[in-house]
Structure 1
Amino acid sequence: MQKILIIEDDNHINNMLKEFLENHGYLCFQAFSGSEGKLLIEMEHFDLILLDLMLPGISGEELIKDLVKKSKIIVLSAKNEIESKVNLLELGANDYICKPFDINELLARVKVQLRHQDTQQRQLHYKDWEIDIDKMTMIANHQMVELTSREFKIIELLMQYPQKVFSKENIYEYVWEDEYIVGDKTIHVHISNIRTKLKSTGTDHYIQTVWGMGFKLIE
């Protein structure tokens, strides 16, 4: 699921965008100031950022300089002067939409920005692992590994964010798309099965258990 960060100090607009985009299959995070947005970006990777310019704390213009190498950016602004648009695009913004905007036009622009990135991410690589998301196939140390669809989704999630620790709740909600039940052993069983299948490839140790927290890939 592609992740979008909404940095917008207007509560109504921020909440409206979150609800609308999540109804269209995106996972959305919210920040209501530039400082809060910067903190979230330092903690997490986002596929796209919707960025207001007039923000408390750190302004949108200042944030763009830090964000340009980390994520796609669509600027949301009441400034509609051509010069302002040109300046922001030159700073590194990928698109610019003026307020007030049509929500369906915004959705179309979001899809355009994520389409190319989504194509690029159809194959993921990590150390001796390679997966093809479209074919749902995995090669580990030059060997094909037969995974169930849910085992594959677990591997896919870990490979997308190899430095992140995922709790059992995170993994369950991503793979099963349902609410996690405390005490459920499903994740442990699936991780154990994956490690067993990877043992012959010599890469079963790639999945690290972080006690009391969850699972991640080794550094």
Structure 2
Amino acid sequence: MAYILVAEDELSINRLISKNLQLVGHHIVQAFSGEEVLQQVILEKFDLILLDVMLPKVDGFEIARQLEHTVPIIFITARTNLSDRLAGLGLGADDYIVKPFEILELLARVGAVLRRTQKQEKVFTHDNVSVDLLTRQVFFNHQEVPLTPKEYELLQTLVLNRNLALSREKLLELVWGYDFMGDSRTVDVHIQKLRKKLEWEDVIKTIYKMGYRLQTGKPK
């Protein structure tokens, strides 16, 4: 997975972002000021920087100017006006996300930037299952497993958000879309099919009264 610098001066937000990125497999370094960011990019080569605009000492826009497009950047800010967004994108930022935001939205945007820069994982493997995220093929014990389009999309959503609890409603939204007319039992049926085909009864966990989680490590 990717090596990401999380630059956010609010401790609680930095911790929240960092923890969720780590849960889905990324390696994280934290920074709490603009000076720390500039020091870290000298010491380490990052695949992506999540950069708060309003950092103390050196703000995010100035950092972007100094980095001169050498590292992909997603700006994170409370500023909502169009001029700030255009300024950030004009400095070469790959994306711009406004607080408050949903963690799943942030993870999706991180994934999109990493795919564009070819830093996103191409194959996910756990136990005897391998998921090729480029070809959309799934293998169990080296034998390809036939999945319907929705079964694959559900599996991919669980993989990309692994170790995170996802409600049935959120899975419906992400996989079937806002205009889907069915109910949450659709998710349950597809989960059962995935568990059976992949022998993942103990990997796709049921979260009581909520939904499901693809568990690849110890719960945190």
TM-score by length of 1: 0.53
Identify the residue that residue 53 of structure 1 maps to in structure 2: 53
Could you tell me which amino acid in structure 2 is paired with residue 2 of structure 1? Answer: A
Residue identity over aligned pairs, in percent, reads 43
Q: Is the 8 A contact 1:68 1:93 kept in 2?
A: no
- Measured in 1, the distance between the counterparts of 2:33 and 2:87 equals 22
Could you tell me which amino acid in structure 1 is paired with residue 90 of structure 2? Answer: E
Q: Is the 8 A contact 1:9 1:31 kept in 2?
A: yes
Identify the residue that residue 104 of structure 1 maps to in structure 2: 104
Identify the residue that residue 189 of structure 2 maps to in structure 1: none
Q: Is the 8 A contact 1:4 1:50 kept in 2?
A: yes
**1:33 matched to 2:33:** yes
- Measured in 2, the distance between the counterparts of 1:13 and 1:70 equals 25
Deviation at residue 26 of structure 1 after TM alignment: 0.5
Deviation at residue 121 of structure 1 after TM alignment: 10
Larger proportion of helix: 1
Could you tell me which amino acid in structure 2 is paired with residue 70 of structure 1? Answer: T
Deviation at residue 118 of structure 1 after TM alignment: 2.0
- Measured in 2, the distance between the counterparts of 1:70 and 1:38 equals 12
1:138-157 → structure 2 map (5 Å cutoff): none
Q: SS state of the match for residue 84, structure 1?
A: helix
| Cα 1:119–1:71 shift into 2, 3 Å | closer
1:1-219 → structure 2 map (5 Å cutoff): 1-118=1-118
Instruction: Give a deviation string over 1:25-51, Cα, whole Å, max 9, x none.
Output: 100100000000110001111000000
Deviation at residue 119 of structure 1 after TM alignment: 6.5
Q: Which structure is higher in RCO with an 8 Å CA cutoff and minimum separation 6?
A: 2
| Cα 1:121–1:70 shift into 2, 3 Å | farther
Q: Is the 8 A contact 1:8 1:33 kept in 2?
A: yes
Q: Is the 8 A contact 2:78 2:100 kept in 1?
A: yes
Q: Is the 8 A contact 1:5 1:30 kept in 2?
A: yes
The root-mean-square deviation of aligned C-alpha atoms, in Å, is 1.9
Instruction: Give a deviation string over 1:102-157, Cα, whole Å, max 9, x none.
Output: 110000000000012226998xxxxxxxxxxx9xxxxxxxxxxxxxxxxxxxxxxx
Where does the alignment leave 5 or more consecutive residues of structure 1 unmatched?
123-133, 135-219
Could you tell me which amino acid in structure 2 is paired with residue 37 of structure 1? Answer: V
Once superposed, which parts of structure 1, at least 4 consecutive aligned residues long, lie more than 3 Å away? Answer: 119-122
Instruction: Give a deviation string over 1:69-99, Cα, whole Å, max 9, x none.
Output: 2211000000010111011101111100000
